[in-house]
């Protein structure tokens, strides 16, 4: 099994013969993508580099204090390449940057090969969207909301709309939790990895295709790149269990997509109007 995340950075004259790293190229997508500076640091970081900080730790308390100060918080957000200052939700563009900074050639190749096997539905952006929802949104989104969203993405290919829709749902859930003074649940990385695989299966396999041996190999590399502290052996076991459930016809039944809310439909109509105006100009 390939060791993920430890692959050396190849020199330019070698790397030009390989596909470019999709995780570095995917920092922007669509007209609504968020931009920020990208760190040049290549040091390996665990999930805490792009996940929530440890609750009640010194760094967590300090980040919350800094984020709550109007002027200081604004300056921190402007100069922080890590983003997520205070209790801010880590958006999709920021998540991709953080994962991409720590990915090696083996990880990059796995994303490309997975796309070659599954076509548009296996696009690296779609796979990363599934991982983002599991990594960042699992505390604020219901499982069915995640699966319904990635199922829509498979057919609509409107990743910008789905990102904004998920951000809206997460922000609303976060506000409700804040008003009720409810604590954030502590979701283990192992569970987040399982959620990511479920979302990838719905989005990329269409809820019915078998997970073949080559798929398992590539998924192990991909998920290990996003959730490195879970461990390669544990991730391999998660994938093997899922593949066996699918092969035995015992896969979890997935909910049928529900109609979008009125607000979501209005947002989508605004996007269509924007594209129409852009094409006319």
Query: In terms of Cα–Cα distance, which of 185, 98, 175 is closest to 138?
Result: 185
Q: Taking the chain (281 residues) in consecutive chunks of 10 residues, what is each chunk's mean pLDDT?
A: 41 36 48 36 36 49 48 43 53 88 89 95 95 91 92 91 91 87 84 96 89 97 94 96 91 60 60 63 65
Query: In terms of Cα–Cα distance, which of 163, 138, 151, 156 is closest to 227?
Result: 138
User: How far apart are the C-alpha atoms of 94 and 39, rounded to whole Å?
Assistant: 12
Q: What is the dihedral of CA 154, 210, 231, 59, to 10 degrees?
A: 20
DSSP state of 231: -
Query: In terms of Cα–Cα distance, which of 115, 192, 127 is closest to 153?
Result: 127
Q: Is-above-0.85 flag for pTM?
A: no
Is the CB of residue 234 less than 8 Å from the CB of residue 190?
yes
Q: Coil, helix or strand for 139?
A: coil
| H or E segment and range at residue 190 | helix 189-200
């Amino acid at each position: 099994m390939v060791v993920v995340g430890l692959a050396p950075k190849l020199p330019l004259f070698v790397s030009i013969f390989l596909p470019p790293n999709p995780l570095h190229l995917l920092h922007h997508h669509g007209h609504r993508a968020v931009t920020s500076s990208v760190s040049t640091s290549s040091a390996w970081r665990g999930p805490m580099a792009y996940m929530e900080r440890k609750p009640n730790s010194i760094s967590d308390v300090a980040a919350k204090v800094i984020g709550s100060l109007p002027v200081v918080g604004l300056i921190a957000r402007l100069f922080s390449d890590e983003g997520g200052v205070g209790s801010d939700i880590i958006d999709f563009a920021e998540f991709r940057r953080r994962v991409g900074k720590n990915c090696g050639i083996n990880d990059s190749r796995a994303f490309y090969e997975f796309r070659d096997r599954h076509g548009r539905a296996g696009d690296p952006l779609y796979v990363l969207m599934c991982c983002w929802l599991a990594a960042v949104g699992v505390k604020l989104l219901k499982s069915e909301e995640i699966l319904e969203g990635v199922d829509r993405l498979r057919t609509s290919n409107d990743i910008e709309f789905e990102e904004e829709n998920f951000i809206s749902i997460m922000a609303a859930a976060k506000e409700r939790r804040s008003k009720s003074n409810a604590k954030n649940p502590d979701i283990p990385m192992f569970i987040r990895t399982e959620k990511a695989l479920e979302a990838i299966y719905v989005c990329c396999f269409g809820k019915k295709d078998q997970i073949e041996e080559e798929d398992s190999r590539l998924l192990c590399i991909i998920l290990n790149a996003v959730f490195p502290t879970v461990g390669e052996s544990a991730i391999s076991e998660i994938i093997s269990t899922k593949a066996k459930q699918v092969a035995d016809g015992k896969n979890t039944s997935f909910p049928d997509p529900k109609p979008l809310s009125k607000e979501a439909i209005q947002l989508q109509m605004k996007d269509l109007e924007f594209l129409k105006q852009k094409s006319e100009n």
